[in-house]
């Protein structure tokens, strides 16, 4: 079922200021029913992502609650509009980015790999990724009640299990708060979006006694919780289905170094190369984010006596390719 579309219908009926904008992706973003049920609050602007965002900023400037529903990869086309028209003016536009992470068969032009990084560079922007459908609904609700600037939610194409109680009002999540999924020892796994469930499964299957945190906000990070976790753990592993630049891993690493923490740190993320097309599981394997990679990273850190090579798997692969390239010159 389509959680985004259904959640938007609920929100739009609850609040007439809510309006949804799509750039010719009504079907893809799951807005067909919305467009029928709330036609006055639905705007398809055509294949014009930049205009969609600045148009949304114009709506927000007048006190409406615009939601720009644009695939992660297509939102790249509107970067300056998010920065210049929404960010600088602190206009509350909610960005709902479908197809976050690896999309599979459509390949490198369509993967949504960069959103967590490039959106985090925008001062004041909230960047989030839900772990499941219920959290997506809660984040939409939270984002619509956020008045301080642009708010991004990225989620995958995956089908989410339908365990949502639609009669219940969604919960307001404290912006920048993370959620501890399980408490464990030594290693603290910080995962965002799709990687929360992936890590949970690996930890359960392998019976690893490590801590797992749902880092649902990539920006701002939960510095208070992170500080507490650093007091009680020796190692930190970050997991994200996105570029290593500017996303969760890099922000956590910066926090660690800036605050003088010398914890063992390891980040799993997508490689600094364009990932080809294939099935999602093939690509996760190729990119170093498969359950096997997650498991190896956790077990490696559990065993480590601060000897773990901090640049393995995905990272290793990229540097290997570069070396090969250089030697062939």
Residue/partner pairs of 305-312 with CB below 8 Å, 24 or more apart: 306/264, 308/264, 308/266, 310/264, 310/265, 310/266, 312/266
CB of 138 to other proteins, least distance (A): 26
**Would you say 79 or 255 has its CB closer to other proteins?**
79
Local structure of 322: helix, strand or coil: helix
Query: Both tokens of residue 271?
Result: 């490689």
**Would you say 86 or 113 has its CB closer to other proteins?**
86
**Would you say 19 or 140 has its CB closer to other proteins?**
19
CB of 82 to other proteins, least distance (A): 12
* Burial bucket for residue 193 (CB in 10 Å: 0-12, 13-18, 19+): buried
**Would you say 64 or 127 has its CB closer to other proteins?**
64
**Would you say 37 or 234 has its CB closer to other proteins?**
37
**Would you say 76 or 89 has its CB closer to other proteins?**
89
**Would you say 28 or 58 has its CB closer to other proteins?**
58
How many angstroms separate the CA atoms of 256 and 22, rounded?
39
Sequence length of the chain is 329
How many angstroms separate the CA atoms of 103 and 282, rounded?
11
**Nearest by Cα to 33 from 4, 71, 70:** 4
Secondary structure (DSSP) of 195-226: HHHHHHHHHHHHT---EEEE--EEES--HHHH
CB of 233 to other proteins, least distance (A): 42
Query: Both tokens of residue 289?
Result: 């984010």
Query: Cis bond leading into 146, ω under 30°?
Result: no
CB of 157 to other proteins, least distance (A): 26
CB of 80 to other proteins, least distance (A): 6
**Would you say 40 or 231 has its CB closer to other proteins?**
40
Run of H or E residues at 189: strand 187-191
CB of 17 to other proteins, least distance (A): 8
Contact 243, 117 (CB under 8 A): yes
How many angstroms separate the CA atoms of 97 and 152, rounded?
7
Contact 257, 290 (CB under 8 A): no
- The site for other proteins (CB under 8 A) is made up of 16-17, 19, 40-41, 43, 45-46, 48, 50-51, 54-64, 66, 80-81, 84-85, 88-89
CB of 85 to other proteins, least distance (A): 6
CB of 86 to other proteins, least distance (A): 11
């Amino acid at each position: 079922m389509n959680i985004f579309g259904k959640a938007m219908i609920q929100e739009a009926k609850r609040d007439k200021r809510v309006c949804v904008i799509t750039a010719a992706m009504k079907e893809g973003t799951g807005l067909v029913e919305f467009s029928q049920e709330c036609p006055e609050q639905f705007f398809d602007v055509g294949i014009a992502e930049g205009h969609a965002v600045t148009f949304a900023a114009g709506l927000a400037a007048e006190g409406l609650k615009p939601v720009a529903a644009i695939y992660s990869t297509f939102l790249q086309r509107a970067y300056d509009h998010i920065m210049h028209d929404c960010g600088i003016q602190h206009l509350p536009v909610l960005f709902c980015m479908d197809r976050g992470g690896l999309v599979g068969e459509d390949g490198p032009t369509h993967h949504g790999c960069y959103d967590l990084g490039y959106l985090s560079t925008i001062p004041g922007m909230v960047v989030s990724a839900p772990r499941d459908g219920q959290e997506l609904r809660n984040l939409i609700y939270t984002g619509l009640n956020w008045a301080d600037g642009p708010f991004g939610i990225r989620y995958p194409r995956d089908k989410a299990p339908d365990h949502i109680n639609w009669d219940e009002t969604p919960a307001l999540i404290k912006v920048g708060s993370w959620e501890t999924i399980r408490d464990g020892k030594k290693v603290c796994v910080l995962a965002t979006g799709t990687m929360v469930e992936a890590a949970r499964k690996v930890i359960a299957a392998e019976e690893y006694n490590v801590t797992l945190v749902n880092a649902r906000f990539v920006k701002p990070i939960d510095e208070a919780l992170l500080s507490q976790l650093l007091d009680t753990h020796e190692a930190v592993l970050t997991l994200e289905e996105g570029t290593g630049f500017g996303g969760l891993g890099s922000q956590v690493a910066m926090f660690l170094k800036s605050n003088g923490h010398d914890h063992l740190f390891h980040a799993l993320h997508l490689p600094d190369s364009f990932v080809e097309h294939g099935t999602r599981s093939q690509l996760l394997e190729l990119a170093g984010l498969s359950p096997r990679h997650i498991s190896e990273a956790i077990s490696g850190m559990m065993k480590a006596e601060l000897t773990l090579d901090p640049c393995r798997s995905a990272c290793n692969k990229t540097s290997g390719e570069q070396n090969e390239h250089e030697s062939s010159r």
